Amino acid sequence: MAPTSRRLRLSNPSSRNQRILWKRRTGALLVLRTNGSDVCGGLISEEETIIPIHHWIPKDMSPAEASQHFLASNISAFDTYANYTVYLCAQTLGVLFNPSSQLPPSCVTCRYLGSPDDRDTYVHRWKRLFDSVEEWYDNRPNQMKSIFVIPATAGPGQERPFPTVLYGNGAAISGNQLYHACALLLLQRKPKTLSLSRRPKSVLWHARQICAISASNTHHGCWTNALQPLWLAGKAMSHHSEHTAIIETLARIERETGWATAWRVEDLKDFWGEDDDMDEMEPMRIDVEGDVSLQTPRSIRSL
């Protein structure tokens, strides 16, 4: 069996027994293992996942029903609750990067949480999905919350652009980081005409949290999932101290895990324009000591 078809079959349980298994294990383990790399690919290329979203859950289950199963796991299985963010991220990619896709009306599971239909606008789809993403954050069990936080600092010799945010397990690390990635993407594409009842956190706050999670937690398995969220967060940063901290984090990931990150470092440098700026500044550097005409007259230097 080809790997792709195997992934499709695993992530699309259709028989009654498979559906029971999906309910008991909430399907999240399957979603994470078989579709997590698909989500990473979608984040890289800014497009829908290759595996259609309706293959992620049973054929007769709607996305809203799937979400309720995931949310219910916050009592008994926090790792399953964490994996819900993989599903939300796939939904986010579909709504943001293929908002006008035509879906078969008879397909129950083909509907995104923010899926288009004749009555819906992009504003309504965006709002429904953003509410689902925030609902995940608001209903996190204690195991998914940070256990230790130190604010960022700024000052000579003590500059730390990102806070220290520690989590007690790998599920919390990756789950929260992917939540921030979803929220960041959605807020960057928020409809201008939409007013939210509760003021959301800023894009920059979510970006800093993404960076803080990778810089603070040294779980190697979670580091391999962090490459694309760090890329998204890095594009929102403008200060050189933030750039340096992100590059150091990516370099550490590659050094300690062997997971290639250098290509993303180069992408970020290109995005920030750091190399270009240095090249432009180079011809402007003047040897003041060697050019007598540019030296300060002695009469002025003695004042």
Q: Tell me the pTM.
A: 0.76
Burial classification of residue 131, based on how many CB atoms lie within 10 Å of its CB (0-12 exposed, 13-18 middle, 19 or more buried): middle
Rg (CA), the chain: 23
Say how far apart CA 29 and CA 11 lie, in whole Å. 10
- Over pLDDT 70: what percentage of the chain? 70
Which of 155, 13, 139 has the alpha carbon at shortest distance from 81?
A: 139
Residue 50 reports pLDDT greater than 60: yes
CB 115 within 8 Å of CB 125: yes
Residue 46 has which token pair? 């800014």
Tell me what the pLDDT averaged over the chain comes to.
Answer: 77
Give whole-number Cα distances, 95 to 36, 55, 74, 227, in Å: 18, 16, 25, 22
Place of tokens 């901290």: 245
The rounded Cα 101 to chain-centroid distance in angstroms is 23
In this prediction, residue 180 carries a pLDDT of 97
Chain centroid to CA 235: 12
The residues that bridge with 150 in the sheet, in sequence order, are 164
The pLDDT confidence band at residue 17, using thresholds 50, 70 and 90, is very low
